[in-house]
Structure formats: structure tokens, C-alpha cells
Amino acid sequence: MERMHKLLFVILLPAAMSGAILPDVIGDYHRSATSTPTISDRPLWDEYGLKESEAGVYQNGNERFTLTAYQMADSTGALGVFDWQRPANAAPVKGTATGAAPAVETADSLMVLQGNYVLFFQGHKPSTVELGAVMGALKNVDPTPLPVLASYLPPESLTANSERYVIGPAGLEQFVRGIPPSVAAFHMGAEAQIGIFHSPKGDLTLAVFNYPTPQIAMQRVEEFGKLPATVVKRSGPLVAVIQNSPDADFAEKLLDGIRYQATVTRDEYVPTRRDNMGELLLNICILIGILAAFAVVSGLVFGGIRGLWRRGGRASEGEEMITLHLESRWPQSSK
């Protein structure tokens, strides 16, 4: 029985350890309890690629707060969760308190997007040092840059925190109900940025779909145009869609603001220090100096060792220096 218990411990220990996301200590706060967050809307979480989630209660005397962490499959899924789960009254964090990580805050909470992780502090906003310790403890962080599709949403009249990033049918059904998934064609690699805009005649929803190529976008424009009460505009691989707009003129202005800007990069050879002729000559001189110094030092060491051997009387006849005594054979000039 004891052997069976040990075997079960060995099998279950890695599984228990693999689920740990949060550190035991954050500054002066120690973790007092751990739980698994309740997950609703499971199809949408699965679409965003939820891998693990964990909630921890941290205490420091009478002070306590809750930290909830969600680990997604990649940074794109984490961005979708960040847009979806942030509080409606949250404001962007200004300054460098969270480094380069996107973050929003309320009076008593902080939400941070770090790679493929979403961190939510409730009841305490950590200091820069505390937040750095939490981020440094995260494992398998995805360094992939975040999608930039949100930058194409016109900032004017955009309702704060209304942005949603859609990568599949579950998100489309929840955030934009009037567009069928077959028209959006996610199987062709589509992703969409959603935003709600306020006009004098009412709110409207703008969806900007991004496709791998402009040719695919051209095909999808025809399909979007078949939907009732829909206005569409294409710009490069982007397709902007507005349905059931209460203000046609406002909708046209929004669509006019969607303009794709292509970024062209060229593969160029970057010169290195090895391509610098001056560096090459300098390295040759250094190498010659090293070889010369080695030769001098080797000669001195060899000569010193032979001298010590001869003074000690341990040199054999074969090791004595051979001299030709040429001065005795050289004819001396008569004076």
C-alpha cells in the first residue's frame, strides 16, 4: 500500500506543479488561498485559447487583495480576453508603471496584458517592483507582438472600452450578431476589431476585418454587400462593415476614416565589424603582436630552463651547445 501511495504521488506531483501560475509572495503580501476562477461563456474562452487560470488571495496583516491570472495560447487570444474582460469604467494606465505592457485601472483594480497572460489585481494596485516580480515569475511568455488592427479604428466618438478583438465564430456571435460566420470567413484567416461609436442619432457598431491578402478582401466585400442594411468599404486587406446604422452620414464618415497603410521592408545586408578594413588590419597587427610576444616568452623560458640545468650540473654532453671556433681559423691581418 505504501508503494502504491508513493507511485501516485510521483504521478500526480508534476500535474499539480504544472498548474501553478502565481507566486507565493508579492512584496510584503503572502498567498493565503488559491482557487480556480469560474469560467462562463466557455466556447469563447476556448476560442481565445485558454490554457490555465488561477486566482490567489494575498494578505499582509489586515490588508488583502485578489490576483487572477489567465494563460492563453498566444498573445492574440490574450488581447481578445483583455478587451473582453476589462471593466467598463477602466482608464488606460499612463506613464511607465507597467513598462511596455498594456494596462487599465480603476480606483481599486489593475488589469495588465503581458504576452499571452492577462493579470487582474482586485483590491490593490501593485507597485512597479511588485508587478515586475509577478511578471518575472510567469512561465512560457509569448513574445509575439500584439495585433495592430485596433489602430485602424477612428478615435473620434469611439466609446471607451468598447473595443473587442474577434478571431472566430463565438466572438462574432457575441459581439456582432448580424454578420454570419460564413460571410466573415474565419477559415480564410480573418480577424476582426470591433468598436462602438456614438453619433447624435444613436450608437453604431463598426467591424474591421483583416484578411491575409487584398484579393481575399475583395471577394468578401461582395458577400458583405449582400447582407441587409449593411454598408461596406475595402482598403487593402481590410474590410470595414457597419450594419443598421441610425445615422447614414456618420457611418460614411467612419468608413472614410478606414485607410490601410502598408509597411514595406527591404532585406538589406547589415555590415559588421568584419567588413571594416581598418578593423581587419588592427586585428592582424594584434595577432602578429601576440605571436611575437609568444615567441619571445617561449625563447626566454627555454633558455632559462637550459641555464638552470647547466648550473645544476645535470646537462649531458649531448645537450651542450656546439661551437665551431671559427675565430681560430680566420686569417688575422698583419699589422
> pLDDT digit string (tens) for 113-144?
999 999 999 999 999 999 999 999 999 999 99
C-alpha 13: how far from chain center: 30
Residue 280 has pLDDT above 90, yes or no: no
**What's the confidence (pLDDT) of residue 275?**
63
- Which tens digits make up the pLDDT trace of 242-261? 999 999 999 999 999 998 97
Give the residue from 183, 273, 165, 173 showing the smallest Cα distance to 220.
183
Helices (H), 113-266: 128-137, 169-175, 181-184, 214-225, 248-256
- Which tens digits make up the pLDDT trace of 213-246? 999 999 999 999 999 999 999 999 999 999 999 9
**What's the confidence (pLDDT) of residue 12?**
40
Measured in degrees and rounded to the nearest 5, phi and psi for residue 283 equal -65, -35
Of the pLDDT bands very low, low, confident and very high (cuts 50, 70, 90), residue 74 is very high
Q: Catalogue all structural domains in the chain, each as residue range(s) with its CATH number.
A: 18-137 (3.40.1000), 149-256 (no CATH)
- Spell out the residues 6+ positions from residue 164 whose beta carbon is closer than 8 angstroms to its own: 80, 83, 84, 171, 175, 193, 194, 195
The residue assigned the cell 450594419 is 243
- Spell out the residues 6+ positions from residue 316 whose beta carbon is closer than 8 angstroms to its own: none
Instruction: Take residue 162 and report the three cell numbers written for it.
Output: 468598447
Are 226 and 241 in contact by the 8 Å Cβ rule? The answer is: no
User: 164-166 and 117-122: which strand pairing?
Assistant: unpaired
Measured in degrees and rounded to the nearest 5, phi and psi for residue 25 equal -130, 135
If you average pLDDT over residues 25-51, what whole number do you get? 95
The residue assigned the cell 472566430 is 168
If you average pLDDT over residues 164-171, what whole number do you get? 97
Residue 323 has pLDDT above 50, yes or no: yes
Are 215 and 203 in contact by the 8 Å Cβ rule? The answer is: no
**CA 155 – CA 293 distance, rounded (Å):** 69
Cα-Cα-Cα-Cα torsion 182, 184, 189, 190, nearest 10 degrees, comes to -160
Measured in degrees and rounded to the nearest 5, phi and psi for residue 184 equal -65, -35
Task: Give the DSSP letter of residue 126.
Answer: -
**CA 8 – CA 251 distance, rounded (Å):** 63
**What's the confidence (pLDDT) of residue 97?**
63
